[in-house]
Amino acid sequence: MLMPILAIVLGLAVLVWSADKFVDGAAATAKHLGMPSILIGMVVVGFGTSAPEMTVSAFAAWEGNPALALGNAYGSNTLNIALILGLTAVLATIAVHSSIVRKEMPILLAVTLLAGWQLWDGEISRNDAIVLLLVFFGIVGWSIYSAMRQRQDSLGEEMSAELAEHPLPLKRALLWLAIGLLLLIVSSRILVWGSVSVAQAFGVSDLIIGLTIVALGTSLPELASSIMAARKGESDLALGNIVGSNLFNTLAVVGIAGVIAPITVAEEVLTRDWPVMLAVTFGLFIMAYGFKKQGHLTHWEGSVLLASYVAYTGWLIYVVVG
């Protein structure tokens, strides 16, 4: 039992570190190759920050544990909103840009409803997974097209400033890119092995492990970046990052896992985990909507989100213990 627990701890630590290095190397390499800053921010960094969920879920499906992949994706979505945004809002009120409420949040709600519709027959088939991936690439393409049409873009400016502040020579960028990718793969396999071993030893389902331990571990980059943004007075960035991450998890992470191996959906996913994910997503939309003025996520609303995460986690613990 000691080895699987150590594998989880080591796998999570290396996973988070390697994801950070992979993003740094990929972003710097793309800059050296002449990619516009806005594309680096949206595509390279967007994919890179979700690399932990993607690699863990892909290997879980490849090794015959697709429920772990589904739990990882849905658990990360609930955690991102209820825990990470909740904690960030408690630390600093989050100003909500109107574009997020008008564009990104309705898309996230629609995608969450699409996920529920696919779960209804008890399986995410390869055809379902292909639909998720097609929707994902459609949204990415639309986002890139919209951003490139704008003369000024805060994400592009932020990315340019970040790359200028921490320049990497091409050789070092390629080195970090290769090392980060290699360690992402290795640490993901270690984490999946440790998680499955612990689940089997305690008689806990792969789904529960994915919803809790694995979801928390793979969401650590988002947690760290959101807290840092709050400390720097840029907490509004956290909302955009979380919405983007949840779109990626629901569409790309589940889609990739489903293409590798069809996912049999446990009844509790449809009756417990997906409704909770939908509830916190809809709740975030209501909280963020400013009605007659600019929307904000206040300290009180952050506390409500945190309380919902505690309640959901307590529910999962009760299921395991009971």
- Kindly state the percentage of the chain with pLDDT values over 90: 30
For the entire predicted model, the pTM comes to 0.82
Range of the structural domain that residue 46 is part of? 2-321
Helix orientation angle between 66-79 and 170-202, rounded to the nearest 10 degrees? 110
Tell me if 40 sits within 8 A of 30, measured CB to CB.
yes
Instruction: Give residue 82's pLDDT.
Output: 95
Is the pLDDT at 319 greater than 90, yes or no? Answer: no
- Averaged confidence pLDDT in the chain: 82
pLDDT tens-digit map of 178-215: 888 888 888 888 888 888 888 878 888 888 988 988 88
Which of 169, 229, 189, 204 minimizes the C-alpha distance to 71? 204
| 253 band by pLDDT with thresholds 50, 70 and 90 | very high
Note the pLDDT of residue 130.
97
- Rounded to whole angstroms, the Cα distance separating 73 from 69 reads 6
pLDDT (tens digit per residue) in 21-30: 777 777 777 7
Asked whether residue 242 carries a pLDDT value surpassing 60, the answer given is: yes
247, pLDDT greater than 80:
yes
Residue 40 or 228, more confident: 228
Q: What is the pLDDT of residues 12-66, one digit of tens each?
A: 888 878 877 777 777 777 777 766 655 555 566 666 667 788 888 888 899 888 8
Indicate the number of domains in the chain.
1
Comparing 249 with 29, which gets the higher pLDDT? Answer: 249
Average pLDDT over residues 224-243: 72
Given a cut of 90, whether residue 9 has pLDDT beyond it is no
Who wins on pLDDT, 39 or 112? Answer: 112
Q: Express each pLDDT in 73-97 by its tens digit.
A: 999 999 999 999 999 888 888 877 6
Cβ neighbours, 10 Å, residue 153: 18
Q: Which of 296, 248, 44 is nearest to 156 (CA)?
A: 44
Where residue 31 sits, what CATH number does that domain have? 1.20.1420.30
User: How much of the chain, in percent, has pLDDT values that exceed 70?
Assistant: 81
